[in-house]
Amino acid sequence: MPTIMVFAPVPQLTVTVEEPSGRHPELHVHPGGQGVWQARMCAGLGADVTLCAAVGGEIGEVVAALMRHENIEVRTVRRDGGSGWYVHDRRDGSRDTVADYAGAPLGRHDLDELYSTTLAAGLLADVSLLSGPAAPEVVPPEVYRRLAADLGTHGGTVVADLSGDHLTAVLDGGVDFLKVSHEELLDDGRAAGDSDEALVEAARELRRQGAGSVLISRADRPGIALLDDEPLLVDLPPLQVVDHRGAGDSMTAGVATVLAHGGDLREAVRTGAAAGALNVTRHGLGTGRREAIAELARRVDLTPAPT
């Protein structure tokens, strides 16, 4: 079975209130955050997943307990500061944030323990997936540079889904496959616009800075992939959207799982696109039936992108 290490430094406790039509209110409590959602999808696609995280305080105890109900191995480091959380109200069909907290910044001793735990798991994995924190100030970007460099030096395949200074750091360390959204590239000033040509050029620049291959998600428009030096449009017939959140995370997880299986880059991109597309048809983030993703992957079109 392929093995994946997911670096999810600061998972959150997610609390959501819903009220289905004509029924009583429902309260949903889950572990969450980008890394947790990615790990869940990787496991659903057949990978043996180890998630490395730091948890602290009362909230951290709950998050750690809930993560152990997922179909993944969890390696936690107890931290001094409290873990993050959010409360969402979806009773009217929209997602309203009642309150949220990204978590306390990781201290020096927390970082040392988490780094050692993550490195040990990553050195044994086929693929290491580096996911971002809920807020940039919680984890220093330098941690990502070091992890990417150390894991890559020892022959590991590194996949990252990051933005801002954390993206810059992982590029400095070197990353085999980078997934990023076009909104993040625009916000970071890394793309001149959202046209095909502008995003292909942004992908080329990311490759010059340290990414082996690049996949840019673009909401309801075809994505852009730069596989080695070949720019491609990634197009999938649309599906009805229940919740658009989590599509990019599922896309990254699909890519990582195929690479861990030893699949090629085109297969990885097709599977990632299919996983992201299926996720928006569901309420749960990082979820989707494996057989449905496999069928959708066959319907993904990869065509040359204009340059």
Cα 161 from chain centroid (whole Å): 5
Asked if 48 contacts 178 with a C-beta cutoff of 8 angstroms, the reply is: no
Diameter of the chain measured on Cα atoms: 57
CA angle, 52 then 53 then 55, to 5°: 150
Any residues with CB less than 8 A from the CB of 114 and at least 6 apart, and which?
9, 52, 53, 54, 77, 79, 106
Q: Kindly report, residue by residue over 1-11, the tens digit of the pLDDT.
A: 899 999 999 99
CATH of 3-304, one of 3.90.550.10, 3.60.70.12, 3.40.50.720, 3.40.1190.20: 3.40.1190.20
- Name the token pair of 189: 């000033």
- Say whether 41 sits in a helix, a strand or coil: helix
Give strand pairing partners of 30. Answer: 14
Q: What's the pLDDT score for residue 243? A: 53
Q: What's the pLDDT score for residue 241? A: 54
CA–CA gap between residue 254 and residue 31 (Å, rounded):
20
Q: What's the pLDDT score for residue 237? A: 66
b/e code 274-305 from CB counts within 10 Å (16+ = b)? bbbbbbbeeeebbbbeeeebeebbeebebeeb
Local structure of residue 212 (DSSP, 8 states): E
Which of 4, 6, 157 has the alpha carbon at shortest distance from 67? 6
The pTM score is 0.93
Amino acid (1-letter code) at residue 240: Q
Q: What's the pLDDT score for residue 296? A: 87
pLDDT 10s per residue in the chain (307 long)? Answer: 899 999 999 999 999 998 877 678 999 999 999 999 999 999 999 999 999 999 999 999 999 999 999 889 999 999 988 999 999 998 887 889 999 999 999 999 999 999 999 999 999 999 999 999 999 999 999 999 999 999 999 999 999 999 999 999 999 999 999 999 999 999 999 999 999 999 999 999 999 999 999 999 987 789 999 998 999 999 876 765 545 555 789 999 999 999 999 999 999 999 999 988 876 554 444 455 678 888 888 899 999 998 7
Residue 242's CB is within 10 A of a number of other CB atoms, namely 11
- Name the token pair of 92: 């009217």
Q: What's the pLDDT score for residue 286? A: 44
Q: What's the pLDDT score for residue 285? A: 47
CA–CA gap between residue 17 and residue 29 (Å, rounded):
9
CA–CA gap between residue 275 and residue 193 (Å, rounded):
26
CA–CA gap between residue 9 and residue 133 (Å, rounded):
6
With tokens 């990634």, the residue in question is 234
Which of 279, 280, 291, 284 has the alpha carbon at shortest distance from 253? 279
Q: What's the pLDDT score for residue 281? A: 54
CA–CA gap between residue 88 and residue 95 (Å, rounded):
6
Q: What is the mean pLDDT of the chain?
A: 91
Domain definitions of the chain by residue range: 3-304
Is the Cα torsion angle 204, 304, 158, 84 positive or negative in sign? Answer: positive
Q: What's the pLDDT score for residue 94? A: 80
Q: What's the pLDDT score for residue 239? A: 63
Which of 193, 151, 165, 136 has the alpha carbon at shortest distance from 52? 151
